[in-house]
Amino acid sequence: MQSPAADAPTARTDNPLLDFSGLPRFADFSPELIGPAVDVLLAEARATLSAVTDPATPTTWDAFVEPLEDATERLGRAWGMVGHLNGVADTPALREAYNVNLPKVTQFWTELAQHEALFAKYKAFAASPQYAGLPAARRRIVDHALRDFRLGGAELVSPARERFAELQERQASLAQKFSENVLDATDAFSLLVTDEADLAGLHADTLEAAREAAHKDGNAGWKFTLHFPSYLPVMQYAVHRPLRERMYRAYSTRASLGALAPEGEAAKALDNAPIIDELLAMRHEEAGLLGYANFAQVSLVPKMAESPAQVTTFLRDLAARARPFAERDMAELRRFAAEELALPDPQAWDLAFASEKLKEARYAFSDQTVKQYFQLPRVLDGLFRLIERLYSVRILPDTAPAWHPDVRFHRVERDGQLIGQFYTDLYARASKRPGAWMDDARSRRRRAASLQTPVAYLVCNFQPPVGGRPALLTHDDVTTLFHEFGHGLHHLLTRVDDLAVSGISGVEWDAVELPSQFMENFCWEWEIVRSMSAHVETGEPLPRELFDRMLAAKNFQSGMATLRQIEFALFDMRLHADYRPGGEQTVQDVLDEVRREVAVSIPPAWNRFQNSFSHIFAGGYSAGYYSYKWAEVLSADAYAAFEEAMAKPDAPARIAETGRRFLDEILAVGGSRPAIDSFRAFRGRDPEMDALLRHNGMVEASAPEPSHA
C-alpha cells in the first residue's frame, strides 16, 4: 500500500516516524527525530480533535469517529516505535528523547480522555438512531469510549480535573523511572569469579558465556550478572553456597537501599521504595476523584472480574486447593536438602538449587540436559508448522529493516493472501529490557478500499548462541516462546476490521492471556515435541523416555508455584484495595501479611522483591496480577477441548475442527465482543476450574494425607 503522494508534504517522509505507508523504518531512525515527529503528530491530532468536535461536524461514524481514529493511530504508531526501541535498544540519547517527549504525549492522551466536547459528542452519538444501527463491534467501541471517558476523569470539574491530569502525568513518569531503576540496578551489579573452584556444578555453556562476558571487559575469569540467563543457572546449579547467596542477595535487593550495587548515594538514586509509596498514594487519590473507594475498583471496571472481593475469593479458593500440595512440596524439599545436601536449614538461595537437585534425583534429568535438544531454529520451525496446521496459514521468511542484526522478520499468509507480519528479537543483551513480550507495531484495520494488515513484535531474552552453535533453549524457554506467539496469533489472525477492537485491542485484561497460556499446552504434546527437537550434537530427537520423565516432572512443586503466583496476586490486590499510604501499615507489612497467609517459605527480611515488581508498578498490571491465574482457568479449559478431540477415534478431523472453532470464536473476534461470550461460543458452557487443577496435578485422587503439626 502506498500513501497518496499528493496529500503528503515532502517533509513528511524525511522523518521516518511520520511515514505510515508501510513498515516502521528502523534503518532511518535516530533519537533526534522523535521530538519533531511528536510535535507534528500532536499538532495534527489536536487539529483533528477540534475539527471533529466542531458543532458543524455531523455526529456520524465517518465524520467523527474515523478521522479521530486516524489521527490517534498515527500518534500511537510513532510513539509505539519509540517505546519499542526504548525497550530493546536503550541508549542514553534515546532515553533522554523518550523522557523529554513522554510528558507531552501523556498530556495529550489525558486531554483527549477529558475532552468535554468530545465526551458530549460520544454521548450524543450513543443516543442517536445511527448508534443502534451500527455493527456490534462498533457499538462496543463507542461503549468503551464512554467508559474510558468516565475512568479518564471526563466528568470531573475543576479543581479535581486539573489534579487528575497532574496525577496521570506524574504516574507515567514514576512508572518509567521505576522501570529504568530496575534496569540500571540490574546492570549495576556484576560478579567476577576468578577461582574456578567456586564454579563447581555450573554447566559448560554457562561457564563459556561467563568467560566471554569477562573477556569482553578485558578480564580473566568468569563474569556473572543479574540478567536472567546468567543469574538463574547460578541459583540452580552452583554448588558453592556463598556464590548463590551473594547473587541472590544482589538480585533480591535490586533498586533498594540495601542493594549490593550501586552503593551509598547512587543506591539512593535507584531506590524504588519512595516511588512505590508515591504511586500508591496517587492511585488511591485518583480512585477517590473518580468516586471509587479504592484503586482496585477502578482497575476492575474494564476487566472480566467484577469486584476486588470476587478476585480475592477466587485467589483464596485456589490457594486453599493448592495449599496441601504446596506443603507436601516444601516438606519433601526440606527433607531432601537435609538428608542429601547437608542443608538442614535451607535458605532462600538454596531453594532453586535444592529443587533442581531433587528434580534430578527423582526424574534424573536437568534443564541443561533437555536444553541440548532444543535448538532455537528447529523449535521455531516446529512452532510455525503447528500454527500452519491449526489455523490453515503459511509462515514465510520476509525482509524488513530492523533495530539489531539478531532480528528476524516473517509474514503470515492464507491462500496466498498476506494476513500479517512479525519481527522476532529473541536473545538477551545489554540495553534490552529483561523478560518476554509481544507488542503491536500496527493493527488490522479496513478503510474504504484498503486493508491494513497487522504487524507484531515478539521479544524474548534467551541466551544467545555461544561457541558457534545454534542457541539452545530450556523447556521453559520453549514454553515462553509458544506463550508469546499465542499473543502474536491473537494480534495477527484477527478478522476484525475496526482498529479499536481488532486483535488484542479491546480484550479485557484478565482474558488477554487466554490465547498465550493456551499455546503453552502444546509444549507438552509428544508429537510436537518430537518434531521440534534435535540434539545439538547427534541430531536425535528428544528420547520418548526422557519426555515421559519431563512429563512426570511437569507438576514438580506445582503446589508451591501456584501459591507463589497467588502471593504476588494477593499482594497486588491488597495493596490496591486495602492499603492506605501514610497509614499504620507499610507496603512491607502488607507483603509480610500476605506471605504469612499464603506462602510456605518466607524470604529473608532484607528481600525487597517489591522494588523490582515492575508488573504492577511499571507494567499496567496494577490490581491485575491475578489475571494470570484467572486466564489460566480459561486457557486450561479451552485446551481441554483439544484433549477431548485428541481422544476421539477420528482425532485429526476433530483437532482440525476444534482449531477452526478456536480461530473463529476466540482468536479472530479479538475484542469485538466480551471474552465470556467468546469463551461460551467456543466451549458451549461457562469456564470451569477443573482442567487447570488437573493440568497442575492437583486433583483429589492425588491429594496427600491431611498434614498434622
Q: Which residues bind Zn ion (CB under 5 A)?
A: 513, 516
* Residue 26: count of CB within 10 angstroms of its CB: 18
- Asked if 299 contacts 622 with a C-beta cutoff of 8 angstroms, the reply is yes
Distance of CA 226 to the CA centre of its chain: 20
Q: Write down the least CB distance from residue 666 to Zn ion, Å.
A: 15
Is the Cβ of residue 516 or residue 558 nearer to Zn ion in the bound state? 516
Rg over alpha carbons for the chain, rounded to the nearest Å, is 26
Is the Cβ of residue 434 or residue 541 nearer to Zn ion in the bound state? 434
- Asked if 90 contacts 183 with a C-beta cutoff of 8 angstroms, the reply is yes
The span from the CA of 438 to the CA of 86, in Å, is: 15
Helix 241-252 vs helix 228-237: crossing angle, to nearest 10? 140
The span from the CA of 412 to the CA of 395, in Å, is: 5
Tell me whether residue 484 is one of the annotated catalytic residues. Answer: yes
Taking CB atoms, the residue at the shortest distance from Zn ion is 516
Q: Is 214 left (phi over 0), alpha (psi -120 to 50) or beta?
A: alpha
The span from the CA of 409 to the CA of 455, in Å, is: 10
- In total, the chain counts a number of residues equal to 709
The span from the CA of 404 to the CA of 136, in Å, is: 42
Q: Write down the least CB distance from residue 630 to Zn ion, Å.
A: 13
CA distances from 18 to 11, 34, 106, 566 (A): 9, 10, 19, 44
Q: Write down the least CB distance from residue 434 to Zn ion, Å.
A: 15
- Asked if 59 contacts 124 with a C-beta cutoff of 8 angstroms, the reply is yes
Host H or E run for residue 485: helix 475-492
- Asked if 650 contacts 323 with a C-beta cutoff of 8 angstroms, the reply is no
Is the Cβ of residue 513 or residue 665 nearer to Zn ion in the bound state? 513
The span from the CA of 93 to the CA of 30, in Å, is: 9
The span from the CA of 433 to the CA of 231, in Å, is: 15
Is the Cβ of residue 223 or residue 490 nearer to Zn ion in the bound state? 490
Cell of 546: 526422557
Q: Write down the least CB distance from residue 516 to Zn ion, Å.
A: 4
Is the Cβ of residue 230 or residue 299 nearer to Zn ion in the bound state? 299
Please list, residue by residue across 658-681, b when 16 or more beta carbons sit within 10 angstroms of its beta carbon and e when fewer do: bbebbbebbbbbbbbbebeebbee
- Asked if 447 contacts 49 with a C-beta cutoff of 8 angstroms, the reply is no
- Asked if 341 contacts 357 with a C-beta cutoff of 8 angstroms, the reply is yes
Q: What is the 3-state secondary structure (H, E, C) of 70-133?
A: HHHHHHHHHHHHHHHHHHHCCCHHHHHHHHHHHHHHHHHHHHHHCCHHHHHHHHHHHHCHHHHH
Q: What SS3 class is residue 139?
A: helix
Is the Cβ of residue 73 or residue 632 nearer to Zn ion in the bound state? 632
- Asked if 201 contacts 228 with a C-beta cutoff of 8 angstroms, the reply is no
| Helix, strand, coil percentages in the chain from 3-state DSSP, rounded to 5 | 60, 5, 30
Q: Write down the least CB distance from residue 457 to Zn ion, Å.
A: 14
Q: Write down the least CB distance from residue 483 to Zn ion, Å.
A: 6
CA quadruple 512, 228, 243, 359: dihedral positive or negative?
Answer: positive
The span from the CA of 610 to the CA of 273, in Å, is: 8
List 180, 484, 513, 567, catalytic entry: 484
**CA-based diameter of the chain, in Å?**
82
Is the Cβ of residue 180 or residue 513 nearer to Zn ion in the bound state? 513
CA quadruple 278, 281, 286, 287: dihedral positive or negative?
Answer: positive
Cell of 452: 491494513
* Residue 439: count of CB within 10 angstroms of its CB: 19
Neighbouring C-alpha atoms within 13 Å toward the C-beta of 148: 16
Q: Write down the least CB distance from residue 696 to Zn ion, Å.
A: 18
The span from the CA of 108 to the CA of 234, in Å, is: 46
Catalytic residues: 484
